[in-house]
């Protein structure tokens, strides 16, 4: 176990509280293992009728995974320890997705990357006025993993492709409008919600959250759906860039400038990922696909370089390789998605 995860049973509910405030509760491998251990222990425990995932102190729900650890793996052990992290994290994601008891995730604050992976599988996903949801991986040469291919590809229209490529932040009200959240509560009501869930149990879960919900403000991103559907219609990254280039509006120019900062390789990977995921009927198949991608992308040049530019040196001037969309070949993307040797393929718990 680790002090970075606080586990307790209160009344009818098992509580898993992320407790790494100095890193906005970003997930480490010990945290992944502690969460998995708790969920497995409660799965057949009749006294625990539901599970609550939240954060303890500090800002943010969960800012992602341990990116520094993954970069160190890419640079020093050929990605071996990084692949272990992805493997076990994806098992946790799948365990949550298939969990037989209701899970409530309180996405109060920053919910990005790995935080998306532990909240989107939950049956109840609670957003607040503090929620900032994003999958920003294209900016560091990674890709929207932890089930991102599954969730984003199933949003209305081309919203998922837009979020995957741009890494745009989505407010709590917008999460509700898009279906990324099931309820919208003021943060001031969260303590009461958790206390009532513990006291009243699974039968009253939805009623408790509905009673404490409030009407969210208007969702700005939904108002842009027509433009998003038009400009992000293609699964070819070059087509999306060309479409935005042909629109002189301030919104199109802003999004084009954003895409110009992203890893062309990652953008092409994300578009293929969402397209392939939408064809799948089983979440485990999606996670196996994402593990193949992760195993290759972690040791590609763009990941270490993206983390250097955005997180280590903070110069925000990554030197992508390949540097342009046109230079990212279909053969390269095919190799990233190719099956692994049978003994290396990802499997659920």
In the chain, where are the structural domains located? 5-344
Alpha helices in 11-126 (DSSP H): 29-43, 67-76, 80-97, 114-119
What per-residue confidence (pLDDT) applies to 58? Answer: 78
CA distance 105 to 124: 6
pLDDT at 137 over 90: yes
What per-residue confidence (pLDDT) applies to 202? Answer: 92
Could you give the residue numbers annotated as active site?
65, 114, 137, 145
What per-residue confidence (pLDDT) applies to 220? Answer: 87
pLDDT at 32 over 70: yes
Residue 193: which residues within 8 A CB-CB, separation 6 or more?
A: 106, 126, 185, 208, 209, 212
pTM of the model: 0.97
CA distance 104 to 281: 24
Split at pLDDT 50, 70, 90, the class of 1 is low
Whether the Cβ atoms of residue 91 and residue 348 lie closer than 8 Å to each other? yes
Across 201-225, average pLDDT: 94
Cα 151–Cα 157–Cα 161 angle in degrees, nearest 5: 55
pLDDT at 335 over 70: yes
Helix (H) or strand (E) holding 134: strand 132-134
Six-digit token string for 311? 């997180």
pLDDT 10s digits, 225-261? 999 999 999 999 999 999 999 999 999 999 999 999 9
pLDDT 10s digits, 113-128? 999 999 999 999 999 9
Across 205-220, average pLDDT: 95
CA distance 151 to 286: 10
Superfamily of structural domain 5-344: 2-enoyl-CoA Hydratase; Chain A, domain 1 (3.90.226.10)
pLDDT 10s digits, 42-78? 999 999 999 999 999 878 999 999 999 999 999 999 9
């Amino acid at each position: 176990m680790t002090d970075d995860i606080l586990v307790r049973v209160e009344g009818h509910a098992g509580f898993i509280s992320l407790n790494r405030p100095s890193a906005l509760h970003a997930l480490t491998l010990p945290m992944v293992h502690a969460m998995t251990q708790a969920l497995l222990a409660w799965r057949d425990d009749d006294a625990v009728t539901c599970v609550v995932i939240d954060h303890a102190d500090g800002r943010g729900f969960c800012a992602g995974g341990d990116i520094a650890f993954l970069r160190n793996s890419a640079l020093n052990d050929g990605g071996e320890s990084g692949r272990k992290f992805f493997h076990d994290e994806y098992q946790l994601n799948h365990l949550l997705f298939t969990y037989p008891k209701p899970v409530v995730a309180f996405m109060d604050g920053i919910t990005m990357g790995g935080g998306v992976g532990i909240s989107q599988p939950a049956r109840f996903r609670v957003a607040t006025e503090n929620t900032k949801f994003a999958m920003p991986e294209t900016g560091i040469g990674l890709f929207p993993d932890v089930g991102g291919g599954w969730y984003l590809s199933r949003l209305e229209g081309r919203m998922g492709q837009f979020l995957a490529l741009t890494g745009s932040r989505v407010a709590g009200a917008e999460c509700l409008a898009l279906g990324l959240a099931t309820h919208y509560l003021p943060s001031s009501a969260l303590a009461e919600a958790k206390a009532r869930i513990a006291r009243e149990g699974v039968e009253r879960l939805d009623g408790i959250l509905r009673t404490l919900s409030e009407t969210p403000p208007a969702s700005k991103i939904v108002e842009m759906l027509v433009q998003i559907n038009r400009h992000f219609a293609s699964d070819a990254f070059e087509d999306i860039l060309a479409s935005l280039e042909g629109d002189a509006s301030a919104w199109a120019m802003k999004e084009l400038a954003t895409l110009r900062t992203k890893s062309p390789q990652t953008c092409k990977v994300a578009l293929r990922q969402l397209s392939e995921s939408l064809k799948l009927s089983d979440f485990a198949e999606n996670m196996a696909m994402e593990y193949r991608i992760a195993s290759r992308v972690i040791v590609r040049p763009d990941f270490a370089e993206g983390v250097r530019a955005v997180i280590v040196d903070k110069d925000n001037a990554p030197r992508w390789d390949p540097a342009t969309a046109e230079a990212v070949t279909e053969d390269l993307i095919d190799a990233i998605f190719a099956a692994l040797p049978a003994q290396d393929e990802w499997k659920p718990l």
